[in-house]
Structure 1
């Protein structure tokens, strides 16, 4: 009965496993976050310092060096507005890229857990997601603080951001299950994923508005799964607009279907992990 439950492929079983192993997920997420800065003088403060430093660099480079402005809003936007808009896009890409780049080595870096029948391997992807979510919260807090400093207010729609980002987390988790499993059998996958997330970054409206893309190429940018989420995140954070709730629902539905397929694949292939490793 335990073996059957362990390899169940339904999303319900994934939810049950996540809830049942919530303490393991919490402890391992905390360990993952703390280990990044272990031995450093400032410790977890680096989680705040890094995004603040990067936002400062973006502000200096794009507002002072390049004198960049976003779209047709050049007339009334502050000098740092371009950097803030850019940072909002990078936050979304950061969720996608960090979860995916960790996925190929996720099982290989935890070999000692693979042969332990009692350890829930399916929680490893959830742990990565929680760790990324922690850093995302800090990045968003830095962005909102910067927006407040430079504009003197914060749009109330910012509270809707978790609803906007949830489909992206679901999609990233789904891909993590696929890639973490394939990474056990295809050792070169990590190199491909690193290349892929770089390509996706430049094919996303991060450094440029969608309106700046020639019409014949816009369909390519719109096919990028990050484009819609980036646009909606900017709507609620930067422009003070409500998101496209219908689009978010459809995106979430598609992400849930992919999550089920990814989890199904992971559960069906996990029995071969020990043999390959």
Structure 2
């Protein structure tokens, strides 16, 4: 790796970087996951307990305190919890990566100044850690689905097809924010605020059809709305994804990932001057 060479921002360079650094990404991702629970008494078990506790709290607040329902008169609290949790998993994955993205380069100054290191993998490592926790949450959701409804739909096997464009969209945004966070330190605070607002502007706690008809098209402009609905379709309702719209999101997500990667590569030479 030539430190004086202009970093390539092509789509081929993106794919090659992910492939060539796959072992490093795996090791750093493992360290990120294990390091998060280092020193705790029960360690990685928290990755299972956290989604269970979160599911219980949200279910109590919305189905018991606010008496919220998803639209069916005979809907049980357990059914409501499963539907709610599916939306929380999608938003949680997206928010976890984006909230940490502005600090990724700032928190690894030694990689910028002292060694030749593929900085572009830092957001990927964070995505790997977030995807691991989302995977554990999905297992918890499927377990709850089996307990509540007595079965898990076969369409759950289609989840990777729905998740891939979500991961690419998240990664593209993370690359962009990781770069901007070096030059504009306030962006980290803005991102945390934005992801919190996005929680309530996405169909996490309510279905899109519960909104007034004039507002529903605006809700659909939120890309998380599509992914939340499709994850619920394959994991909860037992429906196949909307293939035509999913294909469009594949193209859009790959385009955003490429643009985020290109921006990161074009601006990375200025990191050392700022840090």
For the superposition of Structure 1 and Structure 2, which TM-score range results when normalised by the shorter chain? over 0.9
Residue 257 (structure 2) pairs with residue 252 (structure 1) = no
Offset at 1:172?
A: 0.6
After TM superposition, list the pairs within 5 Å mapping 1:42-81 onto structure 2. 42-71=42-71, 73-75=72-74, 77-81=75-79
Residue 36 (structure 2) pairs with residue 24 (structure 1) = no
CA displacement, residues 57-112 of structure 1 (integer Å, 9 cap, x when unaligned): 233333333333212x222x332111111110010001110111011101000111
Q: Where does residue 155 of structure 2 map in the other structure? A: 157
CA displacement, residues 249-268 of structure 1 (integer Å, 9 cap, x when unaligned): 10010111111111111001
The question of whether the paired residues in 2 share the 8 Å contact of 1:7 and 1:267 is answered with: yes
Separation in 1, partners of 2:140, 2:4:
45
Structure 2 residue corresponding to 1:183, chosen from 173, 181, 186: 181
> More displaced, 57-66 or 199-208?
57-66
> More displaced, 186-195 or 18-27?
18-27
Separation in 2, partners of 1:258, 1:171:
6
Offset at 1:3?
A: 4.7
> Closer, same or farther in 2 for the Cα pair 1:243/1:4, shift >3 Å?
farther
Q: Where does residue 118 of structure 2 map in the other structure? A: 120
Structure 1 residue corresponding to 2:231, chosen from 233, 238, 241: 233
> Closer, same or farther in 2 for the Cα pair 1:62/1:264, shift >3 Å?
same
Separation in 1, partners of 2:57, 2:259:
40
SS in structure 1 at match of 2:119: coil
The question of whether the paired residues in 2 share the 8 Å contact of 1:63 and 1:80 is answered with: no
TM-score normalised to the size of structure 1? 0.95
Runs (4+) of structure 1 moved beyond 6 Å? Answer: none
Structure 1 residue corresponding to 2:100, chosen from 94, 99, 102: 102
Separation in 1, partners of 2:194, 2:65:
29
Offset at 1:166?
A: 1.1
Offset at 1:6?
A: 6.8
- Superposed CA RMSD in Å reads 1.5
Separation in 2, partners of 1:135, 1:5:
37
Residue 15 (structure 2) pairs with residue 15 (structure 1) = yes
The question of whether the paired residues in 2 share the 8 Å contact of 1:62 and 1:82 is answered with: no
SS in structure 2 at match of 1:214: coil
Separation in 2, partners of 1:127, 1:207:
30
Separation in 2, partners of 1:200, 1:148:
30
TM-score normalised to the size of structure 2? 0.96
> Closer, same or farther in 2 for the Cα pair 1:137/1:6, shift >3 Å?
farther
Offset at 1:23?
A: 1.7
